[in-house]
Every structure is written in C-alpha cells, then in structure tokens.
Amino acid sequence: MQDKFIQFSQFLSYVLRHKPESISLTLNTEGWVSVDNLLLQANRHGKKLTREILEYVVENNNKKRFTFNDDHSQIRAAQGHSTQQVRLNHVSQTPPKFLYHGTATRFVDSIRQQGLLAGNRHHVHLSDNIDTATRVGARHGNPIVLVIEAQKMVELGYLFYLSDNHVWLTEHVPAQFIQQS
C-alpha cells in the first residue's frame, strides 16, 4: 500500500501543482478543482483513483500538501504551484523573526550571489523550524540550513504568506538577509 500511496501522492502533486492539463483539468485561480472532476479525469487517464484513496492520501500526507474545502467537494495543492492557472491570494502575515531554508551545499555559492529565487514556482518556500529545513535540504544532497532574517525583510516591505500546510512563502529572499546556521 505504501508504494501506491507514494504514487498517488506524486500524481496529485503533478496535476494539482504543475500540469492539470495533463489529465484535462482546469484549476480555478485559487487552485481548486472539483473532486468529482479530478476522479473522473484521473480514471479516464489510467489512474484508478477513488474517493477513499484520495481521502487517505490527503489525510496521511506527512507534508499536508493537499487541502479539501469544508465539504470535501473540492481539492487543491496547499502550495508549490508552477502552473499559471493558479495565483493564490494569500493574505500577508508577519513571520517569526527568523525562518529557515534547507538546501544542498552545492547551491550555497549561487544563493550567496542571487539570494533565494522562486524559480519556476510562485514563491520561495521557508520553514519556521530547523528540523523541517534540514529534511528538505537532504532531498537535494548534503544539506545545509540557511537562516532568513524575516523580520528585517518585513521592516523593509517584503511580504510573507503562510500556506494551508504552514509553509512560509515569499517571492524572493535577497542575499543580504541570508545567514548560514
């Protein structure tokens, strides 16, 4: 079951964050899509996805990547979108004094020069704790945790948002606000 869980989670990430058109889905500007339509299109495209499996994947995803609306009739990815269909209207929030970004040591020189860039996503992803940042960094190689002076950024007008799954988001982190832990 664990292999199937991972496959369905990866599939949902792909269609709800990056390529909804790959299974003929259209997300609204907030990233929502009808659960019924998701199930229909997934099955039409060879993924044997049921409501029970979907509920299980959403509930048991350790990163809480997916969110249902109140009556579970719609679903969306919590953050990490690269599709231009979605422009989440997060309300800016005041972050803690410091946030953290996990990356691989091989990226540090580039980050020192350019800062943290969103790349093909809408935002840079940050954590409010070192453990999560370390796990994220380890996915990309030998991990390093960068400390982001979030409060200083806010004082200079940078905006931060908190996603449904408690990932802190901002459009860019200039190099002068980044320290190594």
Neighbours of 180 (CB within 10 A): 11
Residue 1, pLDDT > 70, answer: no
Average pLDDT of the segment spanning 91-95: 91
Q: Which range among 32-46, 91-105, 119-133 shows the weakest confidence by mean pLDDT?
A: 119-133
**Whose structure tokens read 């948002």?**
161
Name the burial class of residue 42, with classes exposed (0-12), middle (13-18) and buried (19+) by CB atoms within 10 angstroms of its CB: buried
Per-residue pLDDT, 17: 87
User: For residue 86, which of 29, 38, 33, 32 has the smallest C-alpha distance?
Assistant: 29
| 53 vs 90, more confident | 53
Residue 153 one-letter amino acid: M
CA–CA–CA angle 119, 19, 51 (5° rounding): 125
120 pLDDT band, cuts 50/70/90, is confident
Name the burial class of residue 142, with classes exposed (0-12), middle (13-18) and buried (19+) by CB atoms within 10 angstroms of its CB: exposed
Residue 117, pLDDT > 70, answer: yes
2 pLDDT band, cuts 50/70/90, is confident
Average pLDDT of the segment spanning 86-109: 88
What does the alpha-carbon distance between residue 99 and residue 80 come to, in Å, rounded to a whole number? Answer: 18
Per-residue pLDDT, 140: 83
Q: What's the pLDDT tens digit per position in 136-163?
A: 899 888 999 999 999 999 999 999 999 8
Q: What's the pLDDT tens digit per position in 19-54?
A: 999 999 999 988 899 999 999 999 999 999 999 999
**Whose structure tokens read 């200079």?**
156
Would the pTM count as exceeding 0.75? no
